[in-house]
Amino acid sequence: MLASLYSICLQYIVENNQELTTLENVPFKPFVQDIINGIFQSEKPFEKSTLSLIGKAHGQHLFKQAHPTFTCICLSQLCPVGSSVVALKFLSSNFPEIIAQLDLSHTDIGDRHIPLLNGFKYLQILDLCNMEFLSDIGISHLSAMNTTATNRLPFLKELYLANNDLITDKVLKYIGKMETLNYIDLTNTSVTEEVAIIYLKTLGFVQTSKRKAVDWPPLCLKLHRDIRNMLIDSGEFMKRCKTKGDPEEKEQFI
């Protein structure tokens, strides 16, 4: 059976996706969606520029119509231990718009790195559990982005803060300013349970008797592998290794 002209053109684009210069005014369905699926099903890696173009032109379609595995990133799967900040900076600088679900749990991301989430326009679910360096201050930065005035995280609906000792009662006032949240997990934090129940009820939250598990789709190993290779090729990990042990230089990357 002869291949159609469409399938031939699609295969060419998939094999040469690094040559794409724009996807503006290209309909998401079927064209961009077919390009994404074509790259997923091929041995050809996603290119940094391709992910950036997809996010900028069709981020609003991705988090509504794309398969959730394409919009879900687990930071700890991208980098060696101690390199999380480098990885988050890379995502933030290159294609934050493709990410709707972001798992930063069990990483060394801290309060001053939370502003890096500023460009994750279509982020819906954020996992900040088990983070040694996260405190109320980090959530204050997050809260400042999730308002009608700033409109920088307009779709954030679920926030997971479990197992963070530095999250205290002070965090409640920041949660109260986050206009789009409909679920918050404060399990095993330093927040006083009685205070949280009373305050959050005034905001319309309802206490659940059972903790909700983060609804992560299966991770896309190909996407994570391709992004990890982009990071290695960028040289940022190598720069970090060279600065390790030098406080003045290390500050540039942490």
The average pLDDT across 224-231 equals 93
**Rounded CA Rg of the chain:** 20
Specify the pTM. Answer: 0.88
Q: What is the pLDDT of residue 159?
A: 97
Per-residue model confidence (pLDDT) at position 164: 98
Q: What percent of the chain has pLDDT over 90?
A: 72
**Helix, strand or coil for residue 10?**
helix
Helix (H, G, I), strand (E, B) or coil at 90: helix
Distance separating alpha carbons of residues 27 and 32, to the nearest angstrom: 7
Ordered by where they begin, the domains of the chain are 71-250 (3.80.10)
> What amino acid occupies position 146?
N
CA 183 centroid distance within chain: 17
Helix ranges restricted to H, 16-168: 33-41, 48-65, 84-94, 136-145
pLDDT at residue 254 above 50?
no
Which of 1-10, 103-112, 171-180 bottoms out in mean pLDDT, i.e. has the lowest?
1-10
| SS3 label, residue 234 | helix
The pair of structure tokens assigned to 154 is 């307009």
Segment among 111-120, 137-146, 181-190, 224-233 with least mean pLDDT: 224-233
Adjacent-strand bridge partners of 127: 103, 160
